[in-house]
């Protein structure tokens, strides 16, 4: 099974109510994905549920790198606080375990996957299905977003390793 030395990428879609995790191996294999759904109640208990799952995942499949969605401040400030709490707990565990973390804006993930920064969930889902081998069964939005974030990082990493700058045109790479 791929591990830290094999370039495994952990994708994380953080949230207090639901956090998506995906383990991605290049070129296009999703090894596993899951969503941790927490029970409404004390935030500390919910964060422990998320971090305990993450620690177990890291112990079983140590990734070379992790990618996580940056905080997006939409209309609902209350949900943004929960996402920020989950992100903080996840980032602390990844730091503690020595896993390098790369952060992506939602629009960056959408551009890399679909070519359009305002793509909706259905467009992202179709592009994921066309680009990677997804696990069997129904995947919820958190798991799909975690896969998308991992795939975004894999593609971005490949691009930057080629020596290109993020704003480079294709003609400049030849």
CATH number where 97 lies: 3.30.420.10
Half-sphere exposure for 146 (CA within 13 Å, toward CB): 29
Token pair 């989950």 in the structure block, residue: 86
Q: Which residues, including other chains, have CB under 8 Å from residue 44's CB and lie 6 or more apart?
A: none
Whether 65 and 102 have beta carbons less than 8 Å apart is answered as yes
Catalytic residue among 96, 141, 145, 172: 141
pLDDT in tens, the chain (174 residues): 444 546 899 999 999 999 999 999 988 899 999 999 999 999 999 999 999 999 999 999 999 999 999 987 767 777 889 999 999 999 999 999 999 999 999 999 999 999 999 999 999 999 999 999 888 888 999 999 999 999 999 998 866 655 544 444 333 433
Catalytic residue at 141?
Answer: yes
Catalytic residue among 6, 13, 103, 145: 13
Whether 61 and 43 have beta carbons less than 8 Å apart is answered as no
Q: What is the pTM of this model?
A: 0.86
The answer as to whether 173 is a domain residue is no
The answer as to whether 108 is a domain residue is yes
The answer as to whether 87 is a domain residue is yes
Q: Which helix (H) or strand (E) holds 162?
A: none
The answer as to whether 172 is a domain residue is no
* Spatial separation of the C-alpha atoms in residues 44 and 168, rounded to whole Å: 44
The answer as to whether 34 is a domain residue is yes
Which residues, listed in sequence order, are joined to residue 65 by a DSSP beta bridge? 9
**14: domain range?**
4-164
The answer as to whether 58 is a domain residue is yes
Catalytic residue at 69?
Answer: yes
Q: How many domains does the chain have?
A: 1
- State in Å, rounded, how far the first CA of the chain is from the last one: 35
Opening angle at CA 80, ends 79 and 81, nearest 5: 90
The answer as to whether 71 is a domain residue is yes
Token pair 């207090």 in the structure block, residue: 16
Catalytic residue among 69, 96, 103, 140: 69
The answer as to whether 169 is a domain residue is no
């Amino acid at each position: 099974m791929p591990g830290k030395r094999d370039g495994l990428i952990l994708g994380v879609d953080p949230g207090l109510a639901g956090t998506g995790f995906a383990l991605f191996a290049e070129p296009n294999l999703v090894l596993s994905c899951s969503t941790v759904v927490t029970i409404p109640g004390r935030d500390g208990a919910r964060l422990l549920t998320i971090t305990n799952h993450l620690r177990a995942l890291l112990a079983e499949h140590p990734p070379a790198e992790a990618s996580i969605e940056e905080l997006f401040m939409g209309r609902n400030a209350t949900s943004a606080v929960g996402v920020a709490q989950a992100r903080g707990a996840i980032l602390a565990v990844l730091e503690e375990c020595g896993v390098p973390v790369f952060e992506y804006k939602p629009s960056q993930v959408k551009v890399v996957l679909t070519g359009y920064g305002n793509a909706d969930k259905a467009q992202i889902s179709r592009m994921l299905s066309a680009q990677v081998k997804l696990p069997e069964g129904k995947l919820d939005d958190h798991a799909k977003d975690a896969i998308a974030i991992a795939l975004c990082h894999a593609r971005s990493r490949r691009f930057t390793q080629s020596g290109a700058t993020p704003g480079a045109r294709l003609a400049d790479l030849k």
